[in-house]
Structure 1
Amino acid sequence: MRTFAIGDIHGGLKALIQVLNKIEVKDDDTLVFVGDYVDGWSESAQVIQFLIELSEKINCIFIKGNHDVWCEEWLRSGDVSPTWYMHGGKETIESYEGFSEDDKEQHLECFENMPLYYLDDENRLFLHAGFTSMHGVEKEVFETTFYFDRTLWEMALTMDKRIEKDSAIYPNRLKHYEEIYIGHTPTINFNCDVPMRAVNVWNIDTGAAFTGRLSGVDVNTKEVFQSENLPSLYPNEKGRNKG
């Protein structure tokens, strides 16, 4: 059985389809999405609809990201957060044109049911951004940390790779899990367009919201599957590259 971790999609349905086609998804695969399905390119609502239908055929885990929290709140109340509107919400709202109220209710239910993290049978942790508790995700105090934190990735990036995991100075946060898969912080910020590994943390957000690609990783073999750069798939759009 194969397990794939898939990075931040940000409304790029064409990129998602490319990645799934390259993976050649099978009925017994597990797909773990690390969040941020919406906000950016023009097909956010279409991405959610596609994923709902995909989950009826394939085992899918949909982790909740910060952009998903904003969209969920809008679907529930109709209130538009100015912060969300400026960071892709405008495009997401427009993508819902033509979707019925029943469709929106179904999408809201999908968002409401998204977990904040997923731990598999191999002790691999999947979440959108990070956590801060030295005792692990179960002891995290603030829910928002799971989809906003960047300190986990920053810590992993700066660690001396010579430090052994059983060392007293190895961060307790990292000792709890075999591997940790996150999104949220685009690797293109570090001039890298493929998933990055720092100690046992894998960052698989390769900048699909901006000028990068969407990535999927086979967590067993570490084979990477990528779409084309998103601007080439949506040549008449800017995504979140507002300039």
Structure 2
Amino acid sequence: MMKRTLVVGDIHGGFKALEQVFDRAKVTQYDQLIFLGDYVDGWSESSIVIQFLMKLSENQECIFIKGNHDAWCEDWLAVGKGEDVWLFNGGKSTVESYKDYPLEGLELHLEFFQRMKNYHVDEENRLFIHAGYSSMHGPEKEVYSSNYRWDRTLWETAVAMDKKLAKNSELYPKRLLLYNEIYIGHTPTLHLGIKYPLNKANIWNMDTGAAFTGSLSIMDVDTKEFWQSDPLPTLYPDERGRNQY
């Protein structure tokens, strides 16, 4: 079987969408899977998503990047109390999904969150990160690690760039020259009126709004072929996801 490298956008508790998009992409155990973070907060199956991903990683190569929502959930699992800003941004549904969860299960999930990576660079010099970085020297030189999960300036820079700007121009953003390609989540493409993975400069944004009214997306990083689930509100008709917050 041919080994593919597949990158997965923000899931936000949408296990039904994850199952659907895996089926449509015909994911096999030979594929390498890179997840860009925000596995929880939104739809009702956050704990099921985490349990599924933990089991998945036992059978094939998986790389899990930590998103801002994952960091919030990790803190809650560690101390038993979540920040109000998290609860008002999807955390309530995550807490509810862990209702009556055994202590041993909570500890295993906490360990899973703690093992997540801030970013990943592959042998093709492709960067996979949840949000971005502000340092001109790359994420390894980032002063504030929170930028891995919160920075939007990298994406905003790519969106605002003149398409005709050449890479050898002195005006070309130095941050973008560090990698052949950059894959991010965090900022829904829906903000630009786009429902599918979006390419700006050398950045691919894989957050297609699964937390809200959009779909979950998965892409073959070599061919750029992608697959999407149905819009999440159609899979969870009795819920509102993060649209309620």
Q: In structure 2, what is the equivalent of residue 242 of structure 1?
A: 244
1:84: Cα distance to partner? 0.4
Q: How does 1:35-74 map to 2 (within 5 A)?
A: 35-74=37-76
The counterpart of 1:224, out of the listed 223, 226, 239, is 226
Matches within 5 A, 1:1-243: 1-242=3-244
What's the C-alpha RMSD, in Å, of the aligned pairs? 0.8
What secondary structure, in the 3-state scheme, does the structure 2 residue paired with 1:211 have? coil
Shift of 1:191: 0.8
Is there any run of 5+ residues in structure 1 with no aligned partner, and where? none
1:46 & 1:76 partners in 2: Cα distance?
A: 19
Determine the C-alpha separation between the residues in 2 that align with 1:152 and 1:194: 19
- Which segments of structure 1 move beyond 2 Å, counting only runs of 4 or more? none
Alignment TM-score, normalising by the size of structure 1: 0.98
SS of residue paired to 1:18: helix
Determine the C-alpha separation between the residues in 1 that align with 2:5 and 2:24: 14
Q: Secondary structure at the match of 2:163?
A: coil
* Aligned-pair CA distance for 1:217: 0.7
Number of aligned residues: 243
Give, in whole Å, the separation in 1 of the partners of 2:59 and 2:229: 22
CA distance in 1, matches of 2:156, 2:43: 27
Seq. identity, % = 57
1:169-198 deviations in Å (ceiling 9; x for gaps): 211100010000000000111111001100
The Cα of 1:166 is off from its aligned counterpart by 2.2
Q: CA deviation at 1:158?
A: 0.6
Amino acid at match of 1:15: A
Show CA shifts across 1:83-123 (max 9, x none): 00000111000001232111111110010000110001111
Shift of 1:163: 1.4
Q: TM-score scaled to structure 2, two decimals?
A: 0.97
Paired letter, 1:119: V
